[in-house]
């Protein structure tokens, strides 16, 4: 049973691309759980591109990480000591407490998950905030309808992979981009998207014209930058853009799209969103996604790295598209 | 009675800024009106910035002007010969047939207007497509609510002037920009906006911070370019942008906003629109605007030029903010 925990803290805010020196390891003593509290050992934790934004200084609407404090994010763990009878020892729980091996917290601040339905790590990915992000962007924000045509940038990333598959489940035509040939093959052969391309090869706009000659109904934007500009040209009238992220500009600013005037003539709607506003939609997503995952109709590809020490490098790797991971990056802290 | 009409045709498509050589004058013989048709003499006609876009080549969702054909746009005229009993001689009618002195058309293609409620030219401006554009952008697209704070660029232009006043009628705090000191005075003293600034002087973002320290709820965008970028920074969470036009880029491309990532964290919605999709809302607008205009609560400032020959220069002038007109540019073809 843990009475100490190692954790990763923000050591300094990056200028431009972050390096290993932005992170500091620390070991802390954990208190005894008080009434209503539990002690949890994490099994696995999530590193996600959006965390780059939280490393910056300044006013933001997702709270910034604080220097000297552990980085936050989702983790799945197991209760090893409990002073809350509703959450007994052995319960699997999802937390937002981030990059640490163990912690003590109020049981009411945790979400109990059904670890018999799917592996624990799936609740960091397609059954968790990652899958919900894809779901909300497609259906709540962009109002994607059955049979429409959707373009998803960074389609081989965690959110993108979920979005490709949810859209295919609804009978949509899916066009997806990625930054390497390996990812393009994954999109085409495993996720069964209708048209996949490497955005580093050829002109994105030409790819979109070939993939969707009648125009796009929806663009699920994970990148901003040149792919957003290409999509604005190729969206059909009354097209919608779910603005999920801007990986093209996380480390350095990228120019804005020079063709936003397209939005006027074509009556486009561009809308940003943050998944944390939409947790109430999780039940609806799980009702569709859990049976599909059990039936083998959803791929939840994961890239695992082992141990807390590996987390910073795994995170930094996410910020280089074309490198590294396919699907969800999971830091495994313990074999189950 | 006219049996001939002078008209202005598109002579060539401009590259960049249009010149007088883009326009050609012609005189045409008018046919006798057939059954259901009327002969109309125009009293006044509209020239508007959006027409610049219609001069370009290529696919667009507002139809392009055709070379050798008259430029289209709204005009108010008087029926001088009628073969439709529902639209007798003397009726005032609004048409979309544009830059010509007289025409023969099916009576059913015209909108009868009440010229006792307001001067004919008002139906080109605050009681016509101009006013409706402001109305739709504020209330239908941006869903501006009573008491919210709205920023309106090109606030002294025709659409901007209407938007400033409709927003004030709903008790909103109105921030508006313009390109000359004279226009700023007009915004402040005649339209009674809460904060007016010259976008050529000082930093737009600093003006917005001073005018709306708690952030903007809505941005009514007539310009795109740097003012859109400034507004994206200063919009409050869940802010809305009604994308009406892009006068900053009509003649030459302007860089896109480099800070669109703001839309994700702040969950902003940017939505383009075209007034012609919304004519069914005209009755609701007139129900509020006609009594207000009669009661002197709405200013419908107009800049008049006289005669068809003056139309091209009046139009070209609209494309230079900081020059020329305040409010609606009206080409008067005949004294009433």
Residue that the structure tokens 């920009």 belong to:
B177
Asked whether residue A82 falls in the same domain as residue A188, the answer is: no
CA distance A299 to A302: 9
Q: pTM score, two decimals?
A: 0.88
In a domain, A294, yes or no: no
Q: Show the low-confidence residues of chain A (pLDDT under 50).
A: 322
List the domain range (segments joined by +) for residue B99.
4-125+300-332
Asked whether residue A235 falls in the same domain as residue A113, the answer is: no
Which of residues B42 and A61 earns the better pLDDT score? Answer: B42
In a domain, A145, yes or no: yes
Asked whether residue A159 falls in the same domain as residue A255, the answer is: yes
Asked whether residue A197 falls in the same domain as residue A250, the answer is: yes
Q: Is a pLDDT exceeding 60 seen at residue B322?
A: no
- Number of domains, chain A: 2
Asked whether residue A36 falls in the same domain as residue A96, the answer is: yes
Q: B272 and A254 in contact by Cβ < 8 A?
A: no
Q: Is a pLDDT exceeding 70 seen at residue B323?
A: no
Rounded average pLDDT over B184-202: 96
Q: Does residue A183 sit in helix, strand or coil? A: helix
A230 touches chain B (CB under 8 A): no
Asked whether residue A143 falls in the same domain as residue A103, the answer is: no
Q: B256 and A256 in contact by Cβ < 8 A?
A: yes
Q: Select from B102, B92, B152, B103 the least CA-distant residue to B128.
A: B92
Rounded average pLDDT over B310-325: 79
Point out the residue among A243, A258, A264 whose CB comes nearest to the CB of B264. Answer: A243
What is the complex's ipTM, to 2 decimals? 0.88
Q: What percent of chain B has pLDDT over 90?
A: 78
Asked whether residue B146 falls in the same domain as residue B259, the answer is: yes
The DSSP line for A282-305 is: HHHHHHHHHHHHHTT-S---EEEE
Q: Give me the CATH number covering residue A304.
A: 3.90.180.10
Q: Select from A51, A55, A62 the least CA-distant residue to A10.
A: A55
In a domain, B286, yes or no: no
B58 touches chain A (CB under 8 A): no
Q: A267 and B246 in contact by Cβ < 8 A?
A: no
Q: Select from A14, A48, A18 the least CA-distant residue to A154.
A: A48
Q: A224 and B274 in contact by Cβ < 8 A?
A: no
A253 touches chain B (CB under 8 A): yes
In a domain, A284, yes or no: no
Contact by Cβ (8 Å): B120, B97: no
- How far away is chain B from the Cα of A324, in angstroms, using its nearest Cα? 24
CA distance A160 to A147: 18
Phi-psi region of B94 (alpha: psi -120 to 50; beta: other; left: phi over 0): beta
B36 touches chain A (CB under 8 A): no
Asked whether residue B17 falls in the same domain as residue B94, the answer is: yes
Q: B60 and A265 in contact by Cβ < 8 A?
A: yes
State the Cα torsion A130-A136-A141-A142 to the nearest 10°.
80
Please give the pLDDT value at position A318: 85
Asked whether residue B106 falls in the same domain as residue B149, the answer is: no
Asked whether residue B145 falls in the same domain as residue B78, the answer is: no
Asked whether residue A144 falls in the same domain as residue A215, the answer is: yes
Please give the pLDDT value at position B334: 86
State the Cα torsion A225-A226-A229-A234 to the nearest 10°.
-140
In a domain, B287, yes or no: no
In a domain, B144, yes or no: yes
Write out pLDDT tens, residues B120-139. Answer: 999 999 999 999 999 999 99
Mutation target to probe the B interface, by most B beta carbons within 10 A, among A263, A275, A276 is A263
Rounded average pLDDT over B239-266: 89
Asked whether residue B141 falls in the same domain as residue B271, the answer is: yes
């Amino acid at each position: 049973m843990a009475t100490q925990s190692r954790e990763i803290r923000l050591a300094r805010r990056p200028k431009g691309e972050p390096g290993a020196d932005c992170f500091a390891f620390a070991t802390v003593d954990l208190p005894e759980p008080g009434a209503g509290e539990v002690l949890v050992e994490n099994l696995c934790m999530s590193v996600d591109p959006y965390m780059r934004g939280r490393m910056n200084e300044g006013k933001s609407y997702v709270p910034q990480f604080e220097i000297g404090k552990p980085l936050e994010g989702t983790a799945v763990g197991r209760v090893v000591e409990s002073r809350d009878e509703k959450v007994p020892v052995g319960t699997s729980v999802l937390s937002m407490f981030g990059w640490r091996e163990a912690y003590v917290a109020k049981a009411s601040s945790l979400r109990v998950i059904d670890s018999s339905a799917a592996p624990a790590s799936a609740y960091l990915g397609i059954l968790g905030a990652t899958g919900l992000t894809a779901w909300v962007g497609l259906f709540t924000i962009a109002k994607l309808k059955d049979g429409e045509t959707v373009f998803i940038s960074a389609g081989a990333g965690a959110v993108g992979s979920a979005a490709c598959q949810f859209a295919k489940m609804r009978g949509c035509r899916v066009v997806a981009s990625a930054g390497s040939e390996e990812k393009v093959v994954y999109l085409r052969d495993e996720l069964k998207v209708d048209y996949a391309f490497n955005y580093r090869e050829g002109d994105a706009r030409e790819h979109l014209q070939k993939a969707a000659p009648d125009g796009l109904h929806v663009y699920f934007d994970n990148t901003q930058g040149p792919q957003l500009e290409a999509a604005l040209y190729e969206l059909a009238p009354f097209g919608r853009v779910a603005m999920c992220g801007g990986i093209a500009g996380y480390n350095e600013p990228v120019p804005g799209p020079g063709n936003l005037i397209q939005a006027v003539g074509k009556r486009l709607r561009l809308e940003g969103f943050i998944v944390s506003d939409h947790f109430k939609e999780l039940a609806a997503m799980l009702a569709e996604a859990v049976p599909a995952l059990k039936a083998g109709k959803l791929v939840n590809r994961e890239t695992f790295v082992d141990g807390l020490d590996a987390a910073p490098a795994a995170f930094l790797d996410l910020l280089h598209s074309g490198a590294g991971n396919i699907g969800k990056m999971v830091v495994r802290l313990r074999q189950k």
